[in-house]
Amino acid sequence: MTISIPFGGLMKKAQLISWTGLWLVVLASSSTPEGPTPARRPVVVEDRVLELLANEVNGYAAFNNLSIISTYHRTLGSDAIGELLRRLEAKCRLYGLTGTKIHRVPVQTGLEYFFLQNFDGQVPTRTRKAEVRLVKPFPKLLTTAESAPSCLIQGSRAADLIAPVVFIGDGANPDNYRNKDLEGKIALAGNALPEDIKELAIHAHRAAGLFFYFTRPHNSGDNNDAVLDMHWSPYSRSGEPSTFGLSLSTNQFLFLKALLDKGEEVVVHVKIESELKEKEESVFEILDAAIPGTDFPDQEFWVWAHIDHPLPGAVDNGSGCALILEMARTLQALIDNGLFPAPRRTIRFLWLPHVSGLNMYLSLHPEKIGKIKGGISVDSVAIDQSFFSNYFALGKPSHSLPSYWTAVLESLAEHLDSRTNRDLLDYRNTDNLFSPEGSRDQFNIRFCPFNGFGDEMQSNDGTIGIPTITFSNIPVPPRHSQVNFLKYVDPTGLHRIAYLGSALVSVFGWTDAANIWRVVDEVYARGRIHLLQEAEKANRALRDADPLGLAEANKQGCLLIKCGLRREQGMLASIRILLPASREAHQEIDLRINQVKEFAGALTGELQAGYAARCRPLGLSPMDLPPTKEEQDLDRLVPKPVPGVRGKSSYFGDYYLKILGQEKLDSFHLRPGFSYGIVGYTEAHNFIDGRLSILEIHQATAAELWSEGYPSEHDVTLTEVADYMRMLEAAGIITLEKRKGKGAD
């Protein structure tokens, strides 16, 4: 194959050079009379490829697309979100992505389950108007969807009434409703979930509607003018139609409360023009655009961003939607201009609903499960770091899905950090990857361990099996309201992150037999670093242990290295899929797997020597602690996923509560936040693979939390993991099978 490569402003023919050759070409400017200059900071992707990406990516193009996205009030199932998805589909086609499609998935109640997740009662609605006017004690426009579309709680029904307002306070406390006549009136209640308030105010006490407020800490920070975007089911828990709810900012609430406190009669006129969509209109939609692979089209890498959130939603998550569109444009443009060949493997971009959208897509395409070899979830990125103090957070995949992506991410992110944060020794090179319309600032980047707090909570699950990287900025400016403005986004941030994302995707799309050594060497080298860091943690814990705790410290340290070795060997083994038929590549991978095993053995030996050295002056004999009775029992129990049951219930759905009931669920003594918020439970679930015992799952989870430095509140005990597994068994998610003897992995 012959590829024309732009070089020095001319087109030179590179005879017999495939993509492999392109990857390995070294710029003439990097050579000296003595030969090529060795790379000072080796990167997993060859410099020439990175330069092609850097010269194509366009942060301001992404920003312009974001400026369009942020003009839409993006509630799930709305006409606006449908219009936007079709506009983005047209953009994808304009950019050359011909394999685009919009999937329409029926949603009637918002409580339909996609695997173990639902949409928490969100339903497709059509809203034309929503406003509230004060009638008494004086006329005043209080709120309108024209300025704050988030003022209307999604799932509200049409209304046109004049009614008095009655203050309730905490809307989930039944005591606050005593001796208050709400029938035909509007309840001013908040600081609880709207769904819970609705049950009491509207359905139990016959209020005409709800004015909702939330003065506790929330996603819009301390912005008292933020009108929080909320939703509820349009029906009560018993199936009775609900009425309407309007969300007030803290200042709007305080204004009404002050009038009521003065003894004023507060009367308002509410006008809402909305309807629930029905039949074929009652759908949630997903935009799907792919660059098909040539050699291994069934192998896929996914890049996704959730499409929903209230207008303007510039950061959350218009930025993510615009960013992945720019990644798609960049890669397709390089292909269309003959700079890149078509990828060997398929690259898929998805704009989908938050939280449960990935499950929704996979329920349409279950045949893809097991073939998706990696992913990037993009949520709230490119925040101007000078305007609003934050950092770009790169989330690593879960240890439960060991993959080469962790090492590749570390390599490319360190390269981006170096390129965008030039020190004095690099003063001659002023290219720090900026958009001319954006900032010239340095770029604050941090790695974060897997936490499962976003859409990756589902993809990293063992039954879904997508080792997922996350892109986000932390903290996020006021969001989930009408004050998530475009001004927070930096075109330079979009430029840099699109460059990083495109570089990551290029590893999957174009790795072949001649450049796979880059991935193998990167994973191996970083694996040694990871193990060395873990060994140092183990040695420090041993040195800090008191005499009675030495044996336990040695035990836990050995387990940390053991679990780290299993992870790093899994990361190396994951490279095989890139070249399934290459004997040479597999031999190289096997060699590295054995070398990392020897290295881990040496680290364990050093730890044992340190243990003996600590024991000697104390007159103690170093000994390996025998397993406890609980450990022995739980090492014989192996959780196995029930065939056809996928994902986990977290954030939305309350699947376990629905299946078991509150009393049964409480009998397992799980901590609040077990399904969302405590990483120990999440990772214990992720490690379920049908081979590891409950004891081994706990050991792997504890090792990951220690290795990654999670705060102690995320730790879970062996007993807690066992209780969680028994709950999953009762809910029909897993079976617990007895292992015969001391089985291997």
Give residue-wise pLDDT tens across range 668-691. Answer: 999 998 999 999 999 999 999 999
Note whether residue 49 is domain-resident.
no
Residues 648 and 617 in one domain: no
Q: Which of 97-101, 461-465, 500-504 has the highest mean pLDDT?
A: 500-504
Q: Of the candidates 560, 590, 625, which is a domain's last residue? A: 625
User: Whole-structure pTM over 0.85, yes or no?
Assistant: yes
Average pLDDT score over residue span 222-245: 96
Residues 403 and 450 in one domain: yes
Note whether residue 470 is domain-resident.
yes
Residue 429 has pLDDT above 70, yes or no: no
Domain CATH number, residue 182? 3.50.30.30
Residues 347 and 446 in one domain: yes
Residues 522 and 499 in one domain: no
DSSP 3-state assignment of 372?
A: strand
Domain CATH number, residue 350? 3.40.630.10
Residue 569 has pLDDT above 80, yes or no: yes
Q: Looking at the chain, how many residues does it have?
A: 745
Residues 483 and 335 in one domain: yes
Residue 185 has pLDDT above 80, yes or no: yes
Residues 199 and 291 in one domain: no
Note whether residue 24 is domain-resident.
yes
Residues 682 and 709 in one domain: yes
Inter-residue contact 98 to 517 (CB < 8 Å): no
Other Cβ atoms closer than 10 A to 192: 17
Number of domains in the chain: 5
Give residue-wise pLDDT tens across range 377-423. Answer: 999 999 999 999 999 999 999 999 999 999 999 999 999 998 888 75
Residues 597 and 688 in one domain: no
Give residue-wise pLDDT tens across range 11-35. Answer: 333 332 333 333 333 333 333 334 4
Note whether residue 469 is domain-resident.
yes
pLDDT reported for residue 41? 61
Note whether residue 43 is domain-resident.
no
Pairing, β 125-136 against β 140-144: antiparallel
Give residue-wise pLDDT tens across range 43-57. Answer: 999 999 999 999 999
Residues 139 and 217 in one domain: yes
Residues 693 and 669 in one domain: yes
Residues 173 and 249 in one domain: yes
**In one letter, which amino acid is 89?**
E
Q: Of the candidates 595, 625, 655, which is a domain's last residue? A: 625
Beta strands in 427-541 (DSSP E): 445-448, 468-474
pLDDT reported for residue 283? 98
CA 450 to each of CA 82, 273, 563, 705: distance values in angstroms, whole numbers, following the listed order: 32, 43, 16, 10
Q: At what angle do helices 320-336 and 79-94 cross, to 10 degrees?
A: 20
Note whether residue 46 is domain-resident.
no
Note whether residue 47 is domain-resident.
no
Inter-residue contact 247 to 153 (CB < 8 Å): yes
Q: Confidence band (pLDDT; 50, 70, 90) for 315?
A: very high
Residues 433 and 498 in one domain: yes
Domain CATH number, residue 566? 1.20.58
Inter-residue contact 59 to 492 (CB < 8 Å): yes
Note whether residue 45 is domain-resident.
no
Q: Of the candidates 575, 598, 625, which is a domain's last residue? A: 625
Helix (H) or strand (E) holding 417: helix 405-420
Residue 724 has pLDDT above 90, yes or no: yes
Range of the domain at 459: 55-118+282-510
Residue 109 in tokens? 């109640």
HSE of 573 in the Cβ direction (CA atoms, 13 Å)? 10
